[in-house]
Structure 1
Amino acid sequence: MAAHVPKPPGYLQMLTSGARYFSGLEEVVFRNIEACKELAQSLQATYGPSGLNKLVVNHLEKLLVTGDSSTVLREYQIEHPAANMLVLALKMQEEEVGDGRTLVLLLAGSLLDRAGSLLRSGLSVPEVIEGYHQGCQRALEVLEELSCGRLDDPLDEDAVADAVRTPIMSKQCGYEGTLSRLVARSCVVVSSGGHGVFDPDLVRVCKVLGAGVGDSLVLGGMAFKKEAESLVTSMRDARVAVYSCPFELSRPETKGTVLLQGPADMLGFGDGEERLMEAQVRGLLQAGVTVLVIGGKVGELALHYADQHRLMVVTLHSRHELSRLAKAVGATPLLKLGTPSQEELGRCDRVYLQEVGGTQLVIFEQEKRAPAVATILLRGPLHGLQDQLEEAIRDGVSTYRTLGLDSRLVPGAGATEVELALQISAHGASCPGLEQYAIQEYARSFQDIAEALVRNTGKHERQVITQLLATHQEGHHNLGFNMEPGDTEVLDAAKAGIWDSLLVKRSAIRLATNAAVTVLSVDQIIMAKKSGGPKPRGENPNWDEPADHID
């Protein structure tokens, strides 16, 4: 009989079997800092207009080529609890403002890296946290003073295109002119309809392979890559009914038995089904329906009578697309097939089938009415390029929503980060306590962000940052890094039209600081034993050999 081995005395004695416990600076704080630092460094090369892409193969063997940090982290299977805190901060940034996700990750990683140096130098964790709180407060105060412009008219396409150009350029440098005009046009189309607060989901992207990016266009409505089910493929001044159920005769849930005593009964049974189906189609016609949008299966008999009565039928199997289309045409999605009321019908100026680049599209377009949804018909030669262009469009649309909440703009091209580094460093020098060292390191973290921006372009970051610091000390607050080849390495970001949203910067600073402080404030990690049994055995490589075979 095996002897019982008692647990060691202490904290572990109170935990269940298999639990793990870590405490102290070396086991917890420094390990957490190292994990967060590695996570930030893995995505540092994706920052800025010259950032590189990552090639990710997920667990479904799907190949992704992207430079979007949220997309990459979504495919990562991160188990480290401290690194997951940074991921949560990044997700919160995406939900709140939709842009600046990589900035949150890099800033939090730099803050934690410099906090590790401070702790090894002798500062305590509370002193570092206090310094970071003061640095964050000063950064938000300085940020309010750096506003160099605003989006005065959200319905001015040219002004909107200039405002969203920088976040689009950070994802797709070279296509920012075309994409910014597409984003501006689609956002203005949706906002001019007076449908309440702007929702980024109301700007859709339909990717059609072929042609060039410059051939993309904006539709005031929605487009779907599918064909019409009926023979009718075009309808003007359409009255649209939306159903989330199949378009066929309803069947009972249980099996039934029908007693047929002769040929007459069989003919009568079939005629009864036809009469019921035709009555339903006639009821739709009497209600004024000309276009049917079905979220399920379309029966052959139902389609026959729809063609006979010149009724256009379109199927959408995605409930999200069905609800968006209902909002686009002003219809009410119905759960059961029946005659709709006039209030439940939607209106659309034109519904038609069109071939674009060899792809059949069903287009719901509002020509006279103000469209509630806009669709960017995105063209391109490669699927991977179209996916990256869609990510850039999403960032531009999210920036438009952010500018609707706060229209102020700050200079981009690293000018804001360099100015924050100088102002916070000067504030730290005036503080008498030990927290001044933490404030100084907080300021240098913004300098690290500007250095990463320059480094990703292939230029010498120390030389450029030194020049920027010198010009900012002379009072030129809007000077940033010039990534274009030329005689000078700095430029006036405000005059060049390189702007960032003030709200995006403010949210990124706040979330990155909170994430770093949260990681630093953890001094113990308690991990329970993972649930589940042992891992299943892998496939036997010698499955075709006899059981007693000896290699």
Structure 2
Amino acid sequence: MGNQPMIVMSEDSQRTSGDDAQSMNITAGKAVAEAARTTLGPKGMDKMLVGSSGNVVVTNDGVTILQEMEIEHPAANMIVEVAQTQEEEVSDGTTSAVVVGGDLLGQAEDLLDQDVHATSIEQGYRQASEEAKAILEEQAIDVGADDTELLEQIAATAMTGKGAENAKGRLAELVVDAVTSVADDAGVDTDNIKIETVVGGAIEDSELVDGVVVDKDRVSDAMPYFVEDANVAVIDDALEVAETEIDTEVNVTDPDQLEEFLDREQEQLRAMVDDIVDAGADVVFAEDGIDDMAQQFLADAGILAVRRTKSSDAAQIARATGAQVVGNVGDIEADDLGFAGTVSQQSVGGSQQLVVEDVEDASSVTLLLRGGTEHVVDEVERAIGDSLGVVRITLEDGKALPGGGAPETNLALELRDFADSVGGREQLAVEAFADALESIPRTLAENGGLDPIDSLVDLRSQHDAGQSSAGLDAYSGDVIDMETEGVVEPLRVKTQAIDSATEAAVMLLRIDDVIAAGDLKGGQIDGDDGGDDGGPPAGAGGPGGMGGMGGMGGGMGGMM
């Protein structure tokens, strides 16, 4: 071969190696954390996310922000996955997990500059993570199903800083009532809690309905609007004459043929309704359409019917009433029917809704959420989703922790002591892990307009004195007992955040070579259009032209 280079990659391929690859990935991960950092805590700010189609989302929910940003950088997406995992597992703490992940990368960057090998950092981080989770387990507060007040505090804490905060007391009561209503020996199935939103009224007007609320009304005014002791049929089929699979044409040469054709259609529709009547159904929820003639036959039989029911609503009704979803009207039998004490059409928030109540076979409830505008209602729904999740996992685990940065401050103190028992350069990584955890109280202070250094000094002083539940009141700037003040979070929210953040940081640190098959598309890290505005941040795009994090159709330019 002589001195000729051997080319093993395509001309379009891009490769970034060694320190450049680590720096690029760390910078991308830190940029994601910075995007979400200002939303943390009771004084966290909101983000307005504008899509390419013009749709607007206003929220401070970490996972929603990161998903709507349409991040394309592969390393940055690993941090986004931290938020997604946190949301899927525990419903809350997404911003905290991302912030900790970003700070772990920042601390690791300093260690790498000191010639500490990435493997040593990885081992130290993993040891610190395991020790941190063990410490949290020891400090956790026991919570039982009868501790209603504590459960309401946990639900309210999950809403703090979000659009529903002004009414969090009322909403927390509804959330706890909803979760305890559907709880059984097997646990809590939140699928039995339906959330229905209504634009109009105040958030405080939200209510809990013991049953299922469907945003539909009966298909004919001739049908009853109230049915008591109802046998309920859920049908994934249309009560219409089936269309042929191929194009057909019917030629009618005289009126008798037309009448015969219409009679045949009428007979088919009557046969469908007769099957429903013979099964004993009083109420029908059809996922497809209902022909006008079939509507009349159903009304004549005194049956309340709803057409084009959403599949999610149909599944909810089936779970609530014990009905079996029938795929073909002709196959319906009495055993397929469910039961509800009442099914009625009611006016809720100025719109007609079908309310299925007093169910026997399964517990099911509906949270009716109210708000002045669509954006307000959407944010309340996200807050309620988080609260339902944290109450559920609290009941499952029976453990909780004080909030307000108290666990992180205490962990940092304990981990620094633990670091003394760790040999080698891993000790530096354990201490760095402790510093990264303090990013939570530091960010709470910054977002609250407080001096982060003074706040951290006060917190450390209280924890040194043995006040393990001392946290930062972002409103007053005082260090208070969070457990006494009712600022409480599930244990699993914290342990999951530490787990996810550690795994993501370690995975990025171990990457020393980035090979792209082609040019990765995407804007700069700050979401601009690539124009000359002074150049991208350090590492943005990175060596080799790695793609960045494109904003939502350019609508997020400069957000970071």
User: 2:102 aligns to what?
Assistant: 109
Q: What is the root-mean-square deviation in Å for CA atoms of aligned residues?
A: 2.1
Is 1:223 paired with 2:213? yes
Select which of 3, 8, 13 maps to 1:14. 8
In structure 2, relative to structure 1, the CA distance for the partners of 1:265 and 1:454 (3 Å cut) is: same
1:211 and 1:381 in contact (8 A); partners too: yes
Q: Which residue of 1 aligns with 2:56?
A: 63
What displacement does 1:170 show?
A: 4.4
From 72, 91, 100, the counterpart of 1:98: 91
Aligned partner of 1:316 in structure 2 is 308
Name the CA shift for 1:157/1:436 in 2 (closer, same or farther; >3 Å).
closer
Contact 1:230 1:306 in 2 (8 A): no
Q: Contact (CA 8 Å) 2:150, 2:486: kept in 1 or not?
A: no
1:201 maps to 191
- Aligned positions of 1:22-41 closer than 5 A: 22-25=16-19, 27-41=20-34
Compared with structure 1, are the counterparts of its residues 191 and 335 closer, same or farther at alpha carbon in structure 2 (3 Å cutoff)?
same
More off after superposition, 431-440 vs 214-223: 431-440
Q: Deviations over 1:107-156 (max 9, x none)?
A: 01000001111111222212222221221122112112211x22212x66
Which whole-Å CA distance do the structure 1 matches of 2:250 and 2:381 have between them? 55
The 1:31/1:531 distance shift into structure 2, 3 A limit, reads: closer
Distance 1:527 1:361, change over 3 A: same
Counterpart CA distance in 2 for 1:443 and 1:372 is 45
What amino acid is aligned across from residue 208 of structure 2 in structure 1?
Answer: V
Letter of the aligned partner of 1:245 in structure 2? D
Cα-to-partner distance string for 1:276-322 (whole Å, 9 max, x where unaligned): 32233233222211111111111111112112222111123422222
Counterpart for residue 248 of structure 1: 240
* 1:61-210 superposed matches below 5 A: 61-147=54-140, 149-153=141-145, 157-171=148-162, 172-191=164-183, 196-210=186-200
C-alpha separation in 1, matches of 2:104 and 2:381: 32
Which one of 280, 286, 289 corresponds to residue 288 of structure 1?
280
Q: CA deviation at 1:524?
A: 0.3
Q: Deviations over 1:437-493 (max 9, x none)?
A: 2211110111111110121111112111101101111111111112343xx701111
**What secondary structure, in the 3-state scheme, does the structure 2 residue paired with 1:396 have?**
helix
Aligned to 2:493: 504
Mapping 1:402-421, distance limit 5 Å:
402-421=393-412
Determine the structure 1 residue equivalent to 2:320: 328
2:234 corresponds to 1:238: no
Give the distance between the partners of 2:144 and 2:326, measured in 1 at CA: 41
Q: Match of 2:553? A: none
Is the contact between residue 243 and residue 336 of structure 1 (CA under 8 Å) also seen in structure 2?
Answer: yes
TM-score between both structures, scaled by the size of structure 1: 0.89
1-structure distance, mates of 2:137, 2:228:
51
Q: Could you say what secondary structure the match of 2:341 adopts?
A: strand
**How many angstroms apart in 2 are the aligned matches of 1:191 and 1:18?**
56
2:335 to 343, 355, 362: 343
Give me the whole-angstrom Cα distance separating, in 2, the residues matched to 1:316 and 1:185: 30
SS of residue matched to 1:85: helix
Largest Rg, 1 or 2: 1
Question: Aligned partners of 2:170, 2:94: CA distance in 1, in Å?
Answer: 23
* In structure 2, distance between residues paired with 1:402 and 1:314: 36
SS at match of 2:71: coil
- Distance across 2 between alignment mates of 1:508 and 1:88: 12
Check whether the contact 1:151–1:163 (CA below 8 A) recurs between aligned residues.
no
CA pair 156-242 structure 1, distance change in 2 beyond 3 A: farther
Secondary structure of the structure 1 residue equivalent to 2:329: coil
Residue 508 of structure 2 is aligned to residue 514 of structure 1: no
- TM alignment of 1:370-381, pairs within 5 A: 371-381=362-372
- The 1:90–1:281 alpha-carbon spacing in structure 2 relative to 1, beyond 3 Å, is same
Q: Which shows bigger deviation, 453-462 or 513-522?
A: 453-462
Q: Which of the residues 483, 490, 511 maps onto 2:479?
A: 490
Q: Give the whole-Å Cα distance in 1 for the aligned partners of 2:131 and 2:148.
A: 35
| 1:71 aligned partner, one-letter code | T
CA distance in 1, matches of 2:120, 2:331: 70
Give the alignment of 1:379-458 within 5 angstroms. Answer: 379-458=370-449
Shift of 1:163: 3.0
Contact 1:284 1:339 in 2 (8 A): no
| Residue 325 of structure 1: how far off its partner (Å) | 1.9
One-letter code of the match for 2:229?
D
Give the AA of the match of 1:451: R
**8 Å CA contact 2:133, 2:495 repeated in 1:** yes
Q: Percent identity between the aligned chains?
A: 29
Other-structure match for 2:515: 526
**CA-CA distance at 1:260 after TM superposition:** 5.2
Q: Show structure 2 runs of 5+ residues with no match.
A: 522-560
For 1:8 and 1:452, how far apart are their aligned partners in 2?
A: 55
Shift of residue 157, structure 1, vs aligned partner: 4.2
8 Å CA contact 2:345, 2:353 repeated in 1 = yes
Change (3 A) 1:156 1:116: closer
- In the superposition, the TM-score normalised over structure 2's length comes to 0.88
Which residues of 2 match residues 294-305 of structure 1 at below 5 A? 294-305=286-297
8 Å CA contact 1:208–1:378 kept in 2: the answer is yes
Query: Structure 1 residues 271, 81: CA separation in 2 closer, same or farther (over 3 Å shift)?
Result: closer
User: Residue 413 of structure 1 contacts residue 482 of structure 1 at CA under 8 Å; is this kept in 2?
Assistant: yes
Q: 2:531 maps to which residue?
A: none
CA–CA separation in structure 2 for the residues paired with 1:72 and 1:531: 22
Q: Which runs of 5+ in 1 are unaligned?
A: 1-6, 533-551
Gap change, CA 1:156 and 1:326, over 3 Å in 2: farther
Contact in 2 for aligned 1:228/1:313 (Cα 8 Å): yes
Contact 2:320/2:361 (<8 A) preserved: no
Instruction: Please say if residues 48 and 453 of structure 1, whose CA atoms lie closer than 8 Å, have aligned partners that are also in contact.
Output: yes
- After superposition, the C-alpha distances for 1:250-279 in whole angstroms (9 at most, x for unaligned) are 233234565756433433332333233223
Q: Note if 1:467 corresponds to 2:467.
A: no
Deviations along 1:400-430, whole A, 9 cap, x unmatched?
Answer: 2211331111111111010001011111134
In 1, Cα distance between equivalents of 2:243 and 2:116:
74
SS of the equivalent of 2:217 reads coil
